[in-house]
Amino acid sequence: MKASISYTTSPLLASKTPVWRSKFIVAALVLGFFALAVRAVDIQVVNNDFFKRQGELRFVRTLDLPANRGQILDRNGLILASSVIAPSVWATPEDVDISEANLVKLAKLLDMPTAELSKKLNNDDKSFVWLKRQVDVNRAKQIESLGIKGVYLRNEYKRLYPEGDAASSLMGFANVDGKGLGGIELAFNDDLSGRTGSRKVIKDRLGHVVENVGEQFLPVAGKDMQLSIDSKIQFFAFQKLRDAVLEYKAKSGSVVVLDVATGEVLALANYPVAASNKQSNLNGAQLRNRALTDTFEPGSTMKPFTAALALEKGFVKPETVIQTAPGRITIGGATITDAHPHDALTVSQVIQKSSNVGIVKMAMQMQASEMWTMFDQVGFGQKPQLTFPGMATGRVRPFKSWRPVEQATMSYGYGMSCSLVQLAHAYTVFARDGDMIPMTLVKRDTVAISQSVFSPKTASSIRSMLQLASGDGGTAPKAQTMGYSVGGKTGTAHVLEGKAYANKKYRGFYVGMAPIEKPRVVVAVMIDEPSNGKYFGGDVAAPVFSETVQQSLRILGVQPDLSVKPQMVAKAVEESF
């Protein structure tokens, strides 16, 4: 039997512990707790911001709540641009756990090489990387079904343009961040954009939202914009322009349709245009709206303005006879010629036959300052009062620097420049009985203030001359339109390359109005560098005018003023240029 042990009599317990050791242990414990308390104060009070930021970097996310961009509507409320939900794919690289098989599947769904996807997932920023912006909904569902850890979806808005190429040069486009780039999208970006909202959340390591933090700011949707454009007229004008550019193998072309009564732009079409569904890599040349941004010498389309000023000043009457034989005139050592010599012509016939000699003889009766003032009043040399990016001003030099030969050439459209929309707007002075109102791309609900330039009598006389120019014996019988009387003027100008005119490069124009007694629309057409053998404005631009005017007036509900189709002559008189 073992002897029992009494622990109370153990020598170890019987020995006395030094007092200093007990005090040391207690002091160490106190100091430890004090150090912990100091550290806690440092973390939670003194350096709270630093540790809070570190925590937020790991678990707190600020989620943008994208605003729905406003719609762009035509004058009748039809949609020209709208936004739809388009999920975007993003990832937290440090959390991504993906198998080789899923990597290949994901790359295929994102339309990118596997190597490119791997590079994105190994991004230097371990907390966030975009994998693909704005995928379609079905593809997003397939990506979600893969269940890849660290890969997420976020709803954004994608811009759609129902009118496609017909209105692309007018609309411009908005990028993936909802910012307008070009056209109406850029011009009215502030109104269309709205205001992005946001909310702060705490996410776990799996990316799940576990708690909202702080106040949530809801997005504010952008404003809708209603334009003056009629989508039906826009589409038809684009079609006819496209057909003409392709038929005459031209470099490009433009059409402008204006409402005479309101100053509203009903159509603004260009061809060729950048594909409406491939806008991410466009350059400035592809985005520009040529009808607004490109300038040219307007050629013979300026002759009616010179004749109108001569009528207004009382130098001539429509029936005044001007001797144009032998078909040439010398001014300051330079000889100006007609395409075909004529004998004596009335002022009306000078416009009908497009005689350079006749119009120069009228111009040289005037002061240079009088011509410059008239050009200025109808808008040449001034930036159009339209809300649109990149509009051209054109050029009309100060009259004090004009030499006699320059005054002569400007009377028939050389030595000055303008855009097609400026030319169309200027012709409204004849359509509106001598006054003008500002143009607008936004639907106008109020009557604009007009400015008088010519008397109603002068404007009426010019309309009669324009009707002659578009009929039998004029330069543009192909401008005649079934059911409607028309009047207008052709122009054919050499293309200026550097400081010299190209020998075989031309621009063909036609600008006119209908119905001629009380015009409702002005239409201007430009075909740039046609190359299949025809280049006169009466051949390449007038037919586009004819078809566009007819369709536009029908859409606007304007009653025909002719009972039968006018007789079309086989050959137009060639204009001088």
Active-site residue list: 300
**What residues contact 332, with CB distance under 8 A and at least 6 apart?**
403, 404, 405
First to last CA, the chain: 139
Selection from 92, 25, 559, 512 nearest residue 304 by Cα: 512
* Cα four-point dihedral sign 498, 504, 505, 507: positive
Are the beta carbons of 499 and 515 closer than 8 angstroms?
no
Selection from 232, 237, 170 nearest residue 544 by Cα: 237
DSSP single-letter state for residue 565: P
Burial of 169 (0-12, 13-18, 19+ CB in 10 A): buried
DSSP single-letter state for residue 442: B
Three-class secondary structure of residue 153 per DSSP: strand
Tokens of 236: 């038809």
CB atoms within 10 A of CB 403: 13
The CA radius of gyration of the chain, in Å to the nearest whole number, is: 37
- 225-226 and 72-73 as β-strands: parallel, antiparallel, unpaired? parallel
DSSP single-letter state for residue 284: H
Selection from 257, 255, 275, 273 nearest residue 265 by Cα: 257
- The rounded distance, in Å, linking the Cα atoms of 439 and 291 is 14
- The rounded distance, in Å, linking the Cα atoms of 25 and 29 is 6
Angle between helices 303-312 and 368-377 (to 10 degrees): 110
Strand ranges inside 195-325, DSSP E:
197-203, 209-217, 225-226, 252-259, 265-271, 321-323
DSSP run (H or E) holding 488: strand 487-497
Selection from 323, 293, 313, 319 nearest residue 373 by Cα: 313
Are the beta carbons of 43 and 35 closer than 8 angstroms?
no
CA 252, chain centre distance (Å): 17
Are the beta carbons of 198 and 225 closer than 8 angstroms?
no
- The rounded distance, in Å, linking the Cα atoms of 247 and 254 is 15
Are the beta carbons of 136 and 86 closer than 8 angstroms?
yes
Length of the chain: 577
Count CA atoms within 13 Å of residue 418 on its CB side.
Answer: 27
- The rounded distance, in Å, linking the Cα atoms of 348 and 304 is 10
